[in-house]
Amino acid sequence: NDPEAVETEDDAAAAAAEPAGDNAEPGDDVVIGFSGPAAGHGWIGAITEGAQNQGDEFDDVELRVSEGTDDVNQQISQIEQFINDDVDAIVVLPFDGAALTEVAIEAMNAGIPVVNVDREFSSPFAARTTILGDNYGMGVSAGTYICEQLGDQDDAVVAEIAGIDSLPLTQDRSQGFEDALSDCGMEVENRVAADFTVAGGESATANLLQAAPEIDAIWNHDDEQGVGVLAAIENAGRDEFFMIGGAGSANMMREIESGDSVVEATVVYPASQAADGVRLARLLAQERAMSDLVESDVPREIQLYAPVVMG
Amino acid sequence: MRGIIKHFPGAKALDGVDLDIRAGEVHCLLGQNGAGKSTLIKVLSGAHQPTGGEILWKGEQVTIPTTMAALRLGIATMYQELDVVDGLTVAENVFLGHELSSGGVLHRATALERTRDLLRRLGHPEIPAQREVGRLPAAGKQIVSMARALSHEAQLIIMDEPSAVLDPEEVENLFRVVRALRDQGVAVVYISHRLEEIRRIGDRITVLKDGRTAATSLAVQDTPTRELIALMTGHEVISDFGGAAVGPISDQPLLEVDGLSLEGIFEPVSFDVRPGEVVGLAGLVGAGRSEILETIYGARRATTGEVRVKGKKLRRGSIADAVNHDVGLAPEERKSQGLLLDEPIYRNITLSSFARFARSGLLNERAERSAAREQAEALHLSPADVARNIRTLSGGNQQKAMLARWLVHGCEVLLLDEPTRGVDVGARAEIYGLVRELSRRGTAVLMVSSEIEEVLGLADRVLVVADGHVVHTGATKDIDEHQVLDLVMEGAHG
Amino acid sequence: MSEATATGSVPGADIPAQEELPHRDLSPVEEKAPKKVAGSNLSLGHSLGLVLALGALVALGVITGGDRFLSLANLMVILQQAAVIGVISIGVTFVITSGGIDLSVGSVMGLATVWATTLGTQAMATDIHWSIMFFTALAVGAAAGLLNGVIIAYGRVVPFIATLAMLVAARGFAELISGRQTQIITVQGFTSTFRGDLLGIPIIVWMFLIVALAGWFLLNRTTFGRRTIAVGGNPEAARLAGIKVKRHLVMIYTLAGLCAGIGAVMMLSRTTSGSSTHGYLYELDAIAAVVVGGTLLAGGRGTIFGTVLGVLVFAVLRNVFVQNNLDSSVQAVVTGAIIVGAVLLQQRFSSHSRT
Amino acid sequence: MSEATATGSVPGADIPAQEELPHRDLSPVEEKAPKKVAGSNLSLGHSLGLVLALGALVALGVITGGDRFLSLANLMVILQQAAVIGVISIGVTFVITSGGIDLSVGSVMGLATVWATTLGTQAMATDIHWSIMFFTALAVGAAAGLLNGVIIAYGRVVPFIATLAMLVAARGFAELISGRQTQIITVQGFTSTFRGDLLGIPIIVWMFLIVALAGWFLLNRTTFGRRTIAVGGNPEAARLAGIKVKRHLVMIYTLAGLCAGIGAVMMLSRTTSGSSTHGYLYELDAIAAVVVGGTLLAGGRGTIFGTVLGVLVFAVLRNVFVQNNLDSSVQAVVTGAIIVGAVLLQQRFSSHSRT
Ligand SMILES: Nc1ncnc2c1ncn2[C@@H]1O[C@H](COP(=O)(O)OP(=O)(O)OP(=O)(O)O)[C@@H](O)[C@H]1O
Ligand SMILES: Nc1ncnc2c1ncn2[C@@H]1O[C@H](COP(=O)(O)OP(=O)(O)OP(=O)(O)O)[C@@H](O)[C@H]1O
Ligand SMILES: [Mg+2]
Ligand SMILES: [Mg+2]
């Protein structure tokens, strides 16, 4: 899945000359810039927090975290400012990958390695390395789980509570979900979009439950909005269905473990991506290799696993 | 204009009016407040569309769908409501709507030049053509409005109460302009409630009453004032000041003003007003009389000095304190300072006292309404239905509602700023009577008026204010109009 | 000019009003005047267009959803949806009537939920009484509103800017307090108290009802409401009539903040959690509901009844959309059209025409 | 009106200027009035507070960032960031000056980017000329603005509601067209044209500069601008002076839409992509910049210079924040405080006091 094999080899050759040491060992002092979307919902909040903490952990890293924003124009300016400030590496979780591609290429051309987190740029030249969650895979996992549970009922009613519809990640998740369901002859009967917030989840779910008097399974894309989803379900006094969460928050894990809620499982979507991004950026900036891999150079792309976790 | 009819939703403003204007004459339009004068001229200027009737211009029937159309015909209008835009400069206001421009780009220098020229001819070269109009006093805005009317190549110029905000000197100036226009063959329609002005400037008169023509094209010389009043009001009104002054009832001053001043506006003034006494402030526009009243009332924060009511000192800059001590102010600009235009009449009347009718914050609208109705009837407010929106009342009736506010409130010190501005002869007499009645009951009245005759007729004592200084204090019986005018001019130009 | 024909007369004085003066009659042409119920805010006439729009939406709901739409349960869902934004909108109605605007209500609500849950989850463990959370939320809301009011009235900052600053600042402050985490309520009494029913109607709906009635009463039947209208209609006239305009403005913004605090309590019970993201963009929804309801943005005229209708229109709209499983982009386009349609309808049928 | 002796000349021309009477001063008291440069919109005085606020921010930037902050490159970053919102704000300045409001500019900009890229990526493959994209964006913006204007002027819907409806609808429409995908520009000439430099200054900054100068000229030196102020300051007086108020309003909203279209072109070149999420909440940023800049929300007074300053204050603020690595929650709180501070400063130094 890597079209730039040549470049990777070049890098690998360069890196091979350097012995791989322990990655935790302090190296040169480096400045890393981080830019992400507005902390409008919990997952982004956790991502930013994670990056921040990771930065604090290393004595040799100064992490500059710019204001989270959903305005791509502003995010572009933040990257431009990082380029001007000549930071050693940049970690970007773009609000919209396509829109930030050009400025990321500028950064790369300026010799600053860019680590692309979660939402992918539209050009492979835009990032030195990319850490992706698997949004499509999330949908597939959730759909497959439902297929397993409801395999014998082909008239089952499946509902989906999506996040912000206009984000590609939501579209990927929904696509995966749809594809997995259609494999076992099911389809999404009712679908609402919330906005990744607790209140949005509550509101969308309350209406959904009214529109669908009988449901067998629900997949909720995001456990942050899941707090609201559960509140609405509890409020409506409904429990004829089971629910699968998404992204996996601590709250939801507790619910699953307790066993007395409609949530049976959640599809994990790691919030540690940005923290990993900072780690990799540090290695790139210090021109070090990855000690934990056999192929010790920092890889081109890392796609994180999105497993279903059950109680 | 023949048989002009204009209906508003809820009111018939004009019900068959005839008006006939000749070139080179000053045609006066008379009528009580609400008779339909402004409505008539707005029909003529294209601002309103008539419900019925026809307009003939130079013998041909025309329709005037927009104000632009009227201007193109050669009809320019100075409206009663100051029709200037505060955010624009004098020159821009003068040429608003017919800007001197090519391709949309303004010719600023030419406009400034022409404006300066117009202002000079209007006797006000000191008004800077580049000044924002919002920073001019009301009289200055009126001049701008006049300059605008003159900037059109008009054959008919309509002036709706142009003298209301002007003082005697300015009125002279206005007349000079009107005469010059007439001599050039321009027709002028002139509306005013001051009958002596009509006598001096008018050629012919049309009288409106209740939206109908009561008399048309009377020659000014042949019509005695008494007859005009009878035509307007339908009965005889003896235009006086409600009888002789009552005079102070007691020697204990009710209102004491001590060394009061407002930096840059007026110098320290000291005087007092006793119960039953009427004190008048005379002076020219811009002399600072309104500011003295407003500072006493606490609407402006005094720089120095103090105000006492019945010996108790008022807190500086606190209107609430003044109102609590039963001081009331009927402000100069009714619309912007006094009225809630979209509220019913009774709520306007009880604006300063509704809390008194309320029990623990709970309104008692029935009591409010009946108190308001009582005053409305006593003042012959027309229409007397206090649930009506006050916006639909004519100017004079709105002024009466302002006075009713303080009658309902009950006040010991009443500050009146231009109480008869824009008020018709009938209502004027009623307001004078009211002031008399109040002094008989022991109210101390302090009033500002630009009509010196009014000050002298109504007040016991007069303070002549010029340029922020009190230049004369004395009993009104010891001084006449000319002396006051001389004092004022001396102060203003000296 | 000597003989006094005293005309005007002061009631209570012993001189009788003079009768010989004929009253000029320019009373309105009765048959042309639209009938108006006293107290324009009560009048159905003013809101008729909106009632029609709401009726049309309900009809649409019934046609597409049948009994399910008309069920009591669905009605309660709609009302519960409407409740939070509804309570906030009541406060905003006062602000807009007074000629101002409050962009901060959504943020302030979020801040209040966070503050209350911080108190209820962390500071004093889980054994505090639920009423402490309740009053904390109210106090935070009112305090933020008070600050708005002081900046506007005494600092003379235009309301748009002052409350915009509060919008930004309160959101940031809420994030700081919560560390951007959603805080789940652990105080047991709270959820059970506010998530219950009374006579088959959820407590939240009761709260909305009570706040709306109280708001109506306050606006139309008290000196406070009268002052609000006066301040909005002509602040200078209100000031010259002796009304303490500044103090009153402070009270109005405090009231709006208080309503946001009440909204926070309802939000807490709806979502069982406090979060800095609660109430995001609620200010726009609230202002839209108020203005669609017929309150003049310029001030001087406000209607609680209209606001409630405005809120309901949006809530029913959303319900009907979900019922019909409409794509969210199509929803947006349709919503835009319906907003304009409702206002045009309202205009057509309202007794008062604006310019 | 029978036999009128037409006087071909201006009537005022023959009035003898009165010389004998000394002139009395009807101009305002000079010593109380702060000195003002002719043409109030030009005047530094009016915006002095804002200039000071901007100066303070720059000083802060220099103290904390030193040369790096003052570098030409950083200046260009600030200007490029300010450019898009800046161009939109110029259009919004006209709307607000006319007494209206436009909430739809952000959405309309998003719609224009999507429409232009749909044309440029799908409909006609990649070989269309870039200017077609350019004019499409402008046309879409202007058309949406025109629709706003017609609904407001002829439908008599209050601007807040009409443009709110457009905000919602345009966003939905953009999502429908794009299928919620971000559309990357494939027309080569477009990006290369607009991402270039001229004399070391990015094209985008040039565009901002040109639009700002044109806006200033339009507002202060043309009949269009003067009429905008008249319509906003006193619509009745404007009507009586013969101005076609409705037609003028339509033009103003069309202009605002056009500016959003220009903003779309700039956004396209910045992001090399069109998306329905572009411009989200830009309306709030634009209104904030305009109002902070000193344009009266109530209409009747507008300043392009102030708007540009307002936009720059926000852009510099963000730049300084990033430079100082401030936590974004703290940033929000500080931003709130700075907004209020800037306005208080501006008030203190501005020549015009509000009530
Ligand atoms: N827009 C309107 N809507 C309803 N009624 C109106 C309107 N304008 C005027 N009227 C009514 O029409 C009548 C005539 O008003 P108009 O302003 O022409 O009187 P006027 O003679 O100019 O009085 P004044 O001397 O006080 O200026 C009044 O009864 C007034 O209430
Ligand atoms: N807020 C202000 N700032 C500066 N000057 C002011 C202000 N208000 C009034 N003035 C000036 O103070 C002077 C007196 O004002 P004003 O015209 O109200 O006086 P007046 O004697 O009441 O005249 P009028 O007959 O018009 O009421 C004027 O020159 C006016 O321009
Ligand atoms: Mg009139
Ligand atoms: Mg005065």
Within 10 angstroms of residue C188's Cβ, the number of other Cβ atoms is 11
What's the gap in Å between B34 CA and the centre of ligand 1?
A: 5
Query: Which of C338, C330, C297 lies closest to C314 in space, CA to CA?
Result: C338
Which member of B319, B378, B394 has the closest CB to residue C17?
B378
Give the DSSP letter of residue B134.
G
What tokens does D326 get? 């401030």
* C182 with A42: Cβ contact below 8 A: yes
Domain of residue D74, residue span? 65-350
Local structure of B2: helix, strand or coil = strand
Residue D53: inside a domain: no
Chain D residues touching residue A101 (CB < 8 angstroms): 184, 272-273
Within 10 angstroms of residue C48's Cβ, the number of other Cβ atoms is 16
The CA distance from A270 to A247, in Å, is 7
Atom 29 (ligand 1) nearest CA? B34
Cβ-based neighbours of D352, under 8 Å, separated by 6 or more? D46, D301
* C240 with B297: Cβ contact below 8 A: yes
Residue C171: inside a domain: yes
CB proximity A79 to D under 8 Å: no
Chain C residues touching residue D294 (CB < 8 angstroms): none
Task: Give the minimum alpha-carbon distance from C263 to chain D in angstroms, rounded to a whole number.
Answer: 22
Number of separate domains in chain D: 1
Half-sphere exposure of A232 (CA within 13 A, CB side): 29
A177-204: average pLDDT: 85
Q: Is the CB of D29 under 6 A from ligand 2?
A: yes
pLDDT at residue D140 in the model: 95
Tokens 């003066």 belong to which residue?
C21
For CA atoms A279, A281, A285, A290, the dihedral sign is: positive
What tokens does D211 get? 């639009």
Chain A residues touching residue C272 (CB < 8 angstroms): 227, 230-231, 234
What tokens does D232 get? 């906003």
Last residue of a domain, one of B172, B201, B233: B233
Residue B479 belongs to domain with CATH number: 3.40.50.300
Residue B336: inside a domain: yes
pLDDT at residue C122 in the model: 60
B and A make contact (3+ CB pairs below 8 Å): no
Residue D241: inside a domain: yes
Under 8 Å between Cβ of A137 and A306: yes
Q: Using CB atoms within 10 A of its CB, is residue B185 exposed (0-12), middle (13-18) or buried (19+)?
A: middle
Cβ-based neighbours of D266, under 8 Å, separated by 6 or more? D83, D84, D87, D194, D204, D207, D208
Within 10 angstroms of residue D127's Cβ, the number of other Cβ atoms is 8
Residue B20: inside a domain: yes
The angle, 0 to 180 degrees and rounded to 10, between the axes of the packed helices B395-409 and B365-378 is: 120
Atom 11 (ligand 1) nearest CA? B13
The CA distance from A286 to D140, in Å, is 49
Residue of C333, C346, C354 to mutate, testing the D interface (most D Cβ within 10 Å of its Cβ)? C333
Tokens 């300016």 belong to which residue?
A77
Lowest mean pLDDT among D134-148, D286-300, D313-327: D313-327
Q: Using CB atoms within 10 A of its CB, is residue B409 exposed (0-12), middle (13-18) or buried (19+)?
A: buried
Domain of residue B320, residue span? 255-492
Residue D334 belongs to domain with CATH number: 1.10.3470
**Which stretch of DSSP H or E encloses residue D124?**
none
For residue B383, cis peptide bond before it (omega within 30 degrees of 0): yes
Regarding whether B160 and B289 lie in a shared domain, the answer is no
What tokens does D331 get? 């940033």
Under 8 Å between Cβ of B31 and B232: yes
Regarding whether B324 and B471 lie in a shared domain, the answer is yes
Strands B2-8 and B52-57: antiparallel
Under 8 Å between Cβ of B307 and B313: yes
What's the gap in Å between D130 CA and the centre of ligand 1?
A: 60
What's the gap in Å between B450 CA and the centre of ligand 4?
A: 9
Under 8 Å between Cβ of A210 and C73: yes
Number of separate domains in chain B: 2
Return the C-alpha torsion angle B83, B87, B92, B94, nearest 10: 20
The CA distance from D256 to D88, in Å, is 7
Residue C186: inside a domain: yes
**Which stretch of DSSP H or E encloses residue B354?**
helix B354-357
pLDDT at residue D93 in the model: 96
Residue B29: inside a domain: yes
pLDDT at residue C45 in the model: 56
**Which stretch of DSSP H or E encloses residue A106?**
helix A97-109
Helix-then-strand count for chain C, H and E: 14, 4
Quickly state the pLDDT bin for C26 (edges 50, 70, 90). Answer: very low
Of residues D180 and C292, which shows the higher confidence score? Answer: C292
Q: Using CB atoms within 10 A of its CB, is residue A111 exposed (0-12), middle (13-18) or buried (19+)?
A: exposed
Cβ-based neighbours of B154, under 8 Å, separated by 6 or more? B71, B74, B75, B76, B186, D11
Full 3-state SS string of B385-440: CCCCEHHHCCHHHHHHHHHHHHHHHCCCEEEEECCCCCCCHHHHHHHHHHHHHHHH
Per-residue buried b or exposed e for A152-167, using 16+ beta carbons within 10 Å of the residue's own CB: eeeebbbbbbbbbbbb
Query: Which of B274, B219, B278 lies closest to B244 in space, CA to CA?
Result: B278
Q: Using CB atoms within 10 A of its CB, is residue C176 exposed (0-12), middle (13-18) or buried (19+)?
A: middle
pTM for the structure as a whole: 0.84
What tokens does B49 get? 């569309």
Which member of A65, A74, A77 has the closest CB to residue D325?
A65
* A70 with D278: Cβ contact below 8 A: no
What's the gap in Å between B190 CA and the centre of ligand 3?
A: 11
Q: Which residue of D has its CA nearest to A94?
A: D271
Regarding whether B261 and B193 lie in a shared domain, the answer is no
Strands B187-191 and B156-160: parallel
Q: State yes or no: ipTM above 0.95.
A: no
What's the gap in Å between B165 CA and the centre of ligand 4?
A: 9
The CA distance from B173 to B166, in Å, is 10
Residue D31: inside a domain: no
pLDDT at residue C127 in the model: 66
Per-residue buried b or exposed e for A133-147, using 16+ beta carbons within 10 Å of the residue's own CB: bbbbbbbbbbbbbbb
Of residues C124 and D171, which shows the higher confidence score? Answer: D171
What tokens does D110 get? 């998003």
Task: Give the minimum alpha-carbon distance from B176 to chain D in angstroms, rounded to a whole number.
Answer: 8
Local structure of B136: helix, strand or coil = coil
pLDDT at residue A305 in the model: 64
pLDDT at residue A115 in the model: 92
From first to last of the 494 residues of chain B, give the pLDDT tens digit: 666 666 776 667 788 888 888 888 899 988 888 788 888 888 888 888 888 888 888 888 888 888 888 888 888 898 877 688 888 999 999 998 888 888 888 888 889 999 998 888 888 888 898 888 888 887 888 889 889 888 888 888 999 888 888 888 888 888 988 888 888 888 899 998 888 888 888 888 888 888 888 888 788 778 777 777 777 777 666 656 666 666 777 778 888 888 888 888 888 888 889 988 899 998 877 778 888 999 999 989 888 988 999 888 889 888 888 988 889 998 888 888 888 888 888 888 888 888 888 888 888 888 888 888 888 887 778 777 888 888 888 777 888 888 888 888 888 899 999 888 878 887 888 888 888 888 888 889 999 988 888 888 888 888 888 888 888 888 877 888 888 888 877 766 55
D and A make contact (3+ CB pairs below 8 Å): yes
The CA distance from D235 to A40, in Å, is 42
Cβ-based neighbours of C210, under 8 Å, separated by 6 or more? none
The CA distance from C92 to C86, in Å, is 10
Residue C91: inside a domain: yes
Q: Which residue of B has its CA nearest to C300?
A: B342
Full 3-state SS string of B429-478: HHHHHHHHHHHHCCCEEEEECCCHHHHHHHCCEEEEEECCEEEEEEEHHH
Task: Kindly tell me if the per-residue pLDDT of C186 is higher than 80.
Answer: no
Task: Kindly tell me if the per-residue pLDDT of C20 is higher than 90.
Answer: no
Atom 24 (ligand 1) nearest CA? B33
The CA distance from A38 to D346, in Å, is 30
* B126 with D234: Cβ contact below 8 A: no
Residue B238: inside a domain: no
Local structure of B26: helix, strand or coil = strand
Residue C21: inside a domain: no
The CA distance from C104 to B471, in Å, is 54
The CA distance from A91 to A43, in Å, is 17
Query: Which of A270, A274, A275 lies closest to A249 in space, CA to CA?
Result: A270
CA angle (D276 as vertex; D273, D281 as ends), nearest 5? 110
Task: Kindly tell me if the per-residue pLDDT of A201 is higher than 60.
Answer: yes
The CA distance from D336 to D329, in Å, is 11
For CA atoms B123, B124, B126, B129, the dihedral sign is: negative
The CA distance from C308 to C89, in Å, is 8
Atom 13 (ligand 2) nearest CA? B286
Residue D29: inside a domain: no
Q: What is the pLDDT of residues D73-86, one digit of tens each?
A: 888 888 988 999 99
Of residues D67 and B235, which shows the higher confidence score? Answer: D67
Q: What is the pLDDT of residues C203-218, one digit of tens each?
A: 889 999 999 999 999 9
Task: Give the minimum alpha-carbon distance from C229 to chain B in angstroms, rounded to a whole number.
Answer: 9
Residue B249: inside a domain: no
